[in-house]
Amino acid sequence: MAKRVLIVAGDAVEAQELFYPYWRLKEEGFEVHVAAPTKKVLMTVVHDFEPGWETYTEKPGYRFVWVDKEFKEVKPEDYDGLVIPGGRAPEYIRLNEDLERIVRHFMEKRKPLAAICHGPLVLTGYKLIEPGMNVTSYAAVAPDLKAHGADWQDKEVVICRGHIVTARAWPDLPYWMREFIRILKEK
């Protein structure tokens, strides 16, 4: 039986950080489900870096039509791994109590968990970042992680406690998924 991976997302999720793991994990043979606050077509965004801008720009992305279930329907014990993409979605999906239940399960059971870019904001929202944890994220999220005591590192991928895989942003997608898939296969 194939291992099952859950991706959690919402509107304004970074397009590449949702589509890439979705297709890559399927290509590897995992069963992949996507959950969101409501079962709907997600409106993704593209964060890009434009000359002259001091921060990223945001443009509308592709519609993501493969949302399988709402957060409230998810039984986290049915999944072997969790992916939290970035974009602006983590800012508001972390307010969802059902998502907290899901994320806490993965942290408490030490199941593989991958978060990229703004995705670690979900972990800070539930006070799951502890002093001394090695993590990375988009640079603008670093102060939030450091405020929770994390050892933020400016690296393409950082593995913490053998099951948490974090990455900075979409340019690091191959490194992030390579390590997450490796850990999924080992568990």
For the annotated catalytic residues, the residue numbers are 118
Which tokens hold the place of 139?
A: 């640079």
1, 6, 84, 109 from 169: Cα distances, Å: 32, 19, 12, 26
State both tokens at 27: 């290509």
H helix runs in 77-161, sequence order = 89-93, 97-108, 120-125, 142-147
| Token pair in block for residue 55 | 């921060």
d(Cα 165, Cα 89) in Å, to the nearest integer? 19
